[in-house]
Every structure is written in C-alpha cells, then in structure tokens.
Amino acid sequence: MGEFDNKEREEVFSKKVRAGKRTYFFDVKATRSGDYYLTVTESKKRLEDGVFVKHKIFLYKEDFEKFTEGLNETVDYIKTHQDVVEKRYEYSENGEHSTRSNDDFTF
C-alpha cells in the first residue's frame, strides 16, 4: 500500500468548527501502534491572494490533562477580565460574512 493509504487509515475522528474568518479542525488520528493523538488546525484565507494559511499543533494523550488545565485557566481568565463577544460575524445565505462595524478586535 502507498503512503496515502496509511494516512487515510490513521484518521479516526474529525470535527470542523467555523468561527468567523477562521475554521478549526480537530482531528483524532492513530499512530502505527494504535495510539490516538489530536491535531488542531487553524485555517484562514489570506485576503491579498486567497490562499489558505494553516497552522497545526499536535497534542498527545499524555499531555491532555496539562493542556486542558492550561486552556481552561486561560479561557476562564479572559471570561473574567473581558466580555466575550459570542457573535462577531453576520452570515448571509451564500456563506459570505461581514464584520460587524462596532467590534473591537484588539487584545
């Protein structure tokens, strides 16, 4: 079998989350020995040339607890110290979106 066949077999589960101008992919994959790990991919289209730029992290099961603790603590900090805007984009029927004019995107 070719390398492509092995890559197809290793994906166990996938979840796609569209969030404004970005799309996040949460993919559970398996190593050759059958151990699961998580890849988190952020995909965003560059306005200047329409190319999708992707950033990926790999998270292994031995790191899940520490990663989750750190993520939860960080999210709780933001929620405590700043209002979280749930909806920053308005979507039309054709899938296009526009930024609401009163949003502040500074951190």
Q: Do residues 61 and 35 make contact, with C-beta atoms less than 8 angstroms apart? A: yes
Structure confidence at residue 67 (pLDDT): 97
pLDDT given for residue 93 in this prediction = 47
The pTM assigned to this predicted structure is: 0.67
Q: Which residue has the tokens 């996938």?
A: 14
Report how far residue 80's alpha carbon sits from residue 86's, in angstroms, rounded to the nearest whole number. Answer: 15
Q: CA angle, corner 51, sides to 53 and 39, nearest 5?
A: 30
Q: How many Å apart are CA 14 and CA 39, to the nearest integer?
A: 10
Whole-number pLDDT of residue 92: 47
- Residue 89's pLDDT band (boundaries 50, 70, 90)? low
Task: Assess whether pLDDT exceeds 80 at residue 87.
Answer: no
d(CA 45, CA 52): 4
